[in-house]
Amino acid sequence: MTTNLKKCPKCDSQNIVKIFYGMPNLEAFLQAQEGKIHLGGCCITDSDPEYHCDDCAHEWRGKEKRNG
């Protein structure tokens, strides 16, 4: 789902989506095609990013501080 309350820490875009991890079902594939989520893969770790910027492809976890 697109979250307008967050901005990309790299480019300030608000065109961001949550990253979905795990084996996607049909609904997840359809949401990814619609740009509502970004598929992050099946392997899950403790340091995986939570958000994906659709404009610059930057990915980050939680509240990342803007560089520069």
Question: What total of structural domains would you count in the chain?
Answer: 1
Q: Does any domain span residue 43?
A: yes
Q: What pLDDT is attached to residue 29?
A: 96
Lowest mean pLDDT among 12-16, 24-28, 62-66: 62-66
Q: What are phi and psi of 53, to 5 degrees?
A: -90, 120
10 vs 60: CA distance, rounded Å: 10
pLDDT in tens, 18-36: 999 999 999 999 999 999 9
- Gyration radius (Cα) of the chain, Å: 12
pLDDT in tens, 30-55: 999 999 999 999 888 989 999 999 99
27 vs 13: CA distance, rounded Å: 26
Q: Does any domain span residue 27?
A: yes
Q: Does any domain span residue 33?
A: yes
| SS3 state of residue 39 | strand
Its pTM stands at 0.81
Per the DSSP assignment, residues forming a β-bridge with 60 are 51
Q: Does any domain span residue 8?
A: no
Q: Does any domain span residue 66?
A: no
Cβ atoms of 19 and 28 closer than 8 Å: no
Domain with 30 in it: 16-60
Q: Does any domain span residue 34?
A: yes
Reported confidence tier of residue 68, pLDDT bands at 50, 70, 90 = very low
Q: Does any domain span residue 38?
A: yes
